[in-house]
Amino acid sequence: MGDLPDVASSPAPVVVVGGGLAGLAAVVAAVDAGANVVLLEAGTQVGGQITQQLVAPLDEHRAIETHGAPASYRFVRDAVRAHYRRQAPPGAPAAAWTNPGNGWVSRLCFEPRVGAAVLDDLLARVQATGRLKVLFATRVTDVQRAGARICQLDVDTPDGPRSFRPAVVVDATELGDLLPLADAPWVTGAEARSETGERLAPAQADPGRTQAITVCAVLRRDPRPGPVLPRPVGYERLRDTQPFTLDVPDARGRARSFGMYTPRHGGPPPFWTYRRVRDAARLGGDELAVLNWPGNDYVGADLVAAEDRDAVVADARRLTLALLHWLQTEAPRDDGGHGHPELQPDPAGAMTADGLAAAPYVREARRLRARRIVTAEDLLAEGADDARATWFPDSGGVGWYPLDVHAAVGERGSRNDPTRPFQVPLRALVADEPVNLVATGKAMGTTHLSNGAYRVHPVEWSSGTAAGALAAVSVGAGCAPSEVVDRPGLQLRVQRTLLAQGAELAWTPDVPRDDPRWSGLQLLAAFGALEGPVARRQLDTRPDDRLDGDDRNRSLRAAARVLAADGSPVPDSGPCTLGDLALAVDQRLSKLPPRPSPPVEWS
């Protein structure tokens, strides 16, 4: 932790509260855009899902290897693979480092401790700029407002209380804890169908219906049986009501029967390889997997609203210990017996004393009642002819994942509905008040249902990247984030900042980042060039096809909107392709004088 000014109340242009994936991404983007940033993290480690929560197998979409996430997220993926490539034994196949765990839940399953090392290195690189100060083990205790603005954050640090006077505050906490302190509008649980217009929403709102938390664990598969964990209090009830089983229905309710180490009766791949994070056959050493299964999804209480959160987490930990006891003693074996005492909690792999996660895996938080709330109807693929989700002209990023809604407090059901490739609208990050608050990650403006698609690793990172760029542009322009999204020129500045950082605004899979047309095409897409009935039925943009008729007019109007937002002349209306327009837009914007970054000053 760098030294902070020794004054009672310190100026801080951007304060990011929460060092999970969204918070870390916001820090990277804001610093890269020239802002000074303070990061406040309640724990002792950045990385959230990947590190403290142990969900290192990444929940990603099928196109992730080529597009659909910011460049900074790709840096993290590449750094993880580089780590394993260095340690792979001679002659090991490339798969040993491209998917070190050889787990089948993701294209990249790796050990949380490796993720922690990679993210610590990323944080150190950002700190080396001199624009970032980090305080760990620090909690916000009070938020003071002056009218519609947040004017002060009071915090508890290991060295005592202190205060910050922020220009912009980013709520990247796991549970949206800054929203009530800031008197921001928020909601939790399930909204009513009449409120959101979502056909899958319940008829009545249920604020307590928040998705399960899970205290994950890292398990080691030992060559020989090890000691069996003590049977927790209430074990039988948990075993029978959870229930503990290797038979889990798929998204359509069809039964799937999992073997432990080998497929059962030609069924799905086995349980052990589901979230395996180290494949000993490829890399040597211990065989490790993360325990994150319906059996330890805890729905006994709502962590968001709990008066005693420590007690809720302790109960969720007891559930995980009970599931592990069941795996060691009663789970069916592939040879027809029962019990797997060779499965042991691995403290080193979990970076804790007992092998369980330092923090629970949180799927749902308080959510900002934002200027634009993303709903399930914006995303769902069923019954939709379009290849793309709802168009957001204020896009600050992209994502793609099903509506993966786990069992919630008070219910056992879950759902997993397919979606179309979607965007992260900037208006989903801000509300009318406080005007200088930006909410990201699980605190952004989604619903109980759409949160299931936005809460996963790359989308949370995308929303954090958008939040960081929005915050930095706000500071540089001397106005609040809620004003930035209403002013076309400033919104365009945020989007150009994001493009310069390698973040996508739209899905253009046939035009990669190294194509000179990429940046201009991203802006044209964000401003409506792909909103025609033909273009919406496919993700490919076909930039070399000649534009005619409505497609040509629509693309020219999109170009006019982009350039008018920054005062540039509109290209002529001669024959053209989408690629031609993209180059023209990018060339005209690139002639504008660069805007100065805010100075590095800590006073």
pLDDT tens by residue, 427-458 = 999 999 999 999 999 999 999 999 999 999 99
Across 222-226, 252-256, 380-384, least confident range = 252-256
Q: Residue 321 in 3-state DSSP?
A: helix
For the cut 50, the answer to whether the pLDDT of residue 419 exceeds it is: yes
76 within domain boundaries: yes
Across 196-200, 324-328, 544-548, least confident range = 544-548
Same domain assignment for residues 482 and 516: no
> Can you give the residue range of the structural domain that contains 242?
213-350
If we measure between CA atoms, which residue out of 300, 304, 74, 302 comes closest to residue 173? 304
- Tens digit of pLDDT for each residue in 73-84? 999 999 999 999
Give the phi and the psi of residue 417 in degrees, each rounded to 5. Answer: -100, 135
If we measure between CA atoms, which residue out of 130, 244, 246 comes closest to residue 602? 130
- Tens digit of pLDDT for each residue in 15-73? 999 999 999 999 999 999 999 999 999 999 999 999 999 999 999 999 999 999 999 99
Q: Residue 568 in 3-state DSSP?
A: coil
pLDDT attached to residue 1: 29
Query: How far apart, in Å, are the Cα atoms of 441 and each of 170, 262, 444?
Result: 10, 37, 6
389 within domain boundaries: no
Strands 132-135 and 403-405: unpaired
Same domain assignment for residues 36 and 138: yes
pLDDT attached to residue 602: 30
Grade residue 10 by pLDDT with cuts at 50, 70 and 90. Answer: low
Report DSSP letters for 396-424, one per residue.
EEEE---EEE--BTT----EEE-B--EEE
Domain end marker among 439, 472, 496: 496
pLDDT attached to residue 413: 80
Please give the Cα distance from 308 to 16 (Å, whole number).
25
Query: How far apart, in Å, are the Cα atoms of 518 and each of 349, 431, 463, 509, 584?
Result: 41, 31, 21, 10, 12
Q: Which residues pair with 220 in a beta bridge?
A: 288, 344
What predicted TM-score, i.e. pTM, was given to this entire model? 0.94
pLDDT attached to residue 507: 96
Report DSSP letters for 533-545, one per residue.
TTGGG-S---TTS
417 within domain boundaries: no
| Through-space distance between the first and last CA atoms of the chain, rounded to whole angstroms | 17
pLDDT attached to residue 600: 35
Please give the Cα distance from 429 to 446 (Å, whole number).
9
Q: How many helices (H) does the chain have, and how many strands (E)?
A: 19, 21
pLDDT attached to residue 6: 32
Same domain assignment for residues 104 and 13: yes
Same domain assignment for residues 154 and 238: no
Report DSSP letters for 201-256, one per residue.
S-SS-BTT-PBPEE--EEEEE-SS--PPPPPPTTHHHHHHHTT--SEEE-TTS-EE
Residue type, 510: D
Please give the Cα distance from 445 to 461 (Å, whole number).
15
pLDDT attached to residue 255: 77
564 within domain boundaries: yes
For the cut 80, the answer to whether the pLDDT of residue 12 exceeds it is: no
Grade residue 328 by pLDDT with cuts at 50, 70 and 90. Answer: very high
If we measure between CA atoms, which residue out of 207, 198, 294, 203 comes closest to residue 251? 294
Contact 150, 437 (CB under 8 A): yes
For the cut 80, the answer to whether the pLDDT of residue 459 exceeds it is: yes
Across 158-162, 492-496, 571-575, least confident range = 571-575
pLDDT attached to residue 596: 40
The count of structural domains within the chain is 3
H-helix or E-strand containing 468?
helix 457-477
pLDDT attached to residue 338: 97
Tokens 């497609």 identify what position? 551
Same domain assignment for residues 74 and 19: yes
The packing angle between helices 578-590 and 549-565, to 10°, is 10
Domain with 452 in it: what CATH number?
3.50.50.60
Tokens 């106005």 identify what position? 479
384 within domain boundaries: no
Tokens, residue 455: 């809460």
Same domain assignment for residues 132 and 24: yes
pLDDT attached to residue 256: 86
Please give the Cα distance from 153 to 439 (Å, whole number).
16
Domain end marker among 496, 525, 555: 496
pLDDT attached to residue 266: 79
Tokens, residue 3: 């030294």
Contact 196, 375 (CB under 8 A): yes
42 within domain boundaries: yes
Please give the Cα distance from 513 to 519 (Å, whole number).
8
Other CB atoms within 10 Å distance of the CB of residue 369: 15
Between 569 and 441, the more confident residue is 441
419 within domain boundaries: no
If we measure between CA atoms, which residue out of 397, 387, 355, 425 comes closest to residue 531? 387
**What's the whole-number mean pLDDT along residues 109-118?**
98
**What's the whole-number mean pLDDT along residues 178-206?**
96
Across 218-222, 251-255, 327-331, least confident range = 251-255
Q: Residue 182 in 3-state DSSP?
A: coil
For the cut 90, the answer to whether the pLDDT of residue 322 exceeds it is: yes
H-helix or E-strand containing 38?
strand 37-40
Percent of the chain surpassing pLDDT 90: 83
401 within domain boundaries: no
Radius of gyration of the chain (CA): 24
Please give the Cα distance from 8 to 3 (Å, whole number).
14
Other CB atoms within 10 Å distance of the CB of residue 10: 18
Q: Residue 442 in 3-state DSSP?
A: helix
Q: Residue 297 in 3-state DSSP?
A: strand
Contact 303, 309 (CB under 8 A): yes
Other CB atoms within 10 Å distance of the CB of residue 311: 11
Same domain assignment for residues 177 and 242: no
Across 254-263, 290-299, 317-326, 346-355, least confident range = 254-263
Grade residue 564 by pLDDT with cuts at 50, 70 and 90. Answer: confident
pLDDT attached to residue 565: 75
Say how many residues make up the chain.
603
Other CB atoms within 10 Å distance of the CB of residue 303: 23
Q: What is the largest CA-CA distance in the chain?
A: 77
Tokens 């982009």 identify what position? 562
**Burial environment of residue 336 by CB neighbours within 10 A (0 to 12, 13 to 18, 19 or more):** exposed
Same domain assignment for residues 554 and 451: no
For the cut 80, the answer to whether the pLDDT of residue 566 exceeds it is: no
Same domain assignment for residues 339 and 281: yes
Please give the Cα distance from 35 to 51 (Å, whole number).
26
Same domain assignment for residues 473 and 562: no
Same domain assignment for residues 490 and 553: no
Same domain assignment for residues 218 and 342: yes
For the cut 80, the answer to whether the pLDDT of residue 357 exceeds it is: yes
For the cut 70, the answer to whether the pLDDT of residue 410 exceeds it is: yes
For the cut 60, the answer to whether the pLDDT of residue 594 exceeds it is: no
Please give the Cα distance from 58 to 142 (Å, whole number).
34
Domain end marker among 496, 519, 554: 496
Please give the Cα distance from 462 to 291 (Å, whole number).
26
DSSP state for residue 546 in the 8-state scheme = B
Mean pLDDT of the chain: 92
Residue type, 167: A
Please give the Cα distance from 26 to 467 (Å, whole number).
6
